[in-house]
Structure 1
Amino acid sequence: MTTVTRVGKKRTLVIPKKIAEKLGIREGDRVRITLLEDKIVLEPERDAVWLSLHGKKIAKISLEELESESVEEQRKYIEGVD
């Protein structure tokens, strides 16, 4: 998908609606800007919540394992054990 847009005051760029929707970019979201020779690359910068819901999964853990780990970490915190 390619489109043309104008640079506004203070060098602002408006991301066209179709592109923003396709990438899931909303007002207030952060984007990474990279300069590659004579090109600008804009990429959405995803937060931990977005990544946990939509990102590539690299590990699996069961609810039982998660609960066990949580209980152990809480015990260490309460007892002051490292």
Structure 2
Amino acid sequence: MGVVVETRVGRKRVVVIPKAVAEAVGLVEGQRVRIRAEDGRIIIEPVRDALWLALHGRRIGYIPAEDVEEESLREQERLASTT
């Protein structure tokens, strides 16, 4: 198990996520979270955007920059020929 901290539910059912917990999952101010109830538990998960996933997410493949550039040029040529 990771970091475990107790906290209180405040007015309007506001829960403050302790710094140690936020740091353990890489949660920063302003970031979106997903909250769900499951089997009598509350689960809060950071919502990862495309940039975060690109920098920190699991790698499922590798595409060399040259391949991306070639595909970009082909697509630009295709789009230019249709106008």
Q: Same fold (TM over 0.5)?
A: yes
Q: Which residue of 1 is the match for residue 62 of structure 2?
A: 60
Q: What is the number of equivalent residue pairs in this alignment?
A: 81
The secondary structure found in structure 2 opposite 1:52 is helix
Q: What letter matches 1:33 in structure 2?
A: I
* Runs ≥4 residues deviating over 4 A: none
Is there any run of 5+ residues in structure 1 with no aligned partner, and where? none
Superposed, 1:1-82 pairs within 5 Å as 1-80=3-82
Q: 1:5 to 1:74 in 2, by over 3 A?
A: same
Distance 2:54 2:36 in 1: 24
The secondary structure found in structure 2 opposite 1:42 is strand
TM-score of the superposed pair, with normalisation by structure 2: 0.88
Distance 1:60 1:27 in 2: 31
Identity %: 47
RMSD of aligned Cα (Å): 1.4
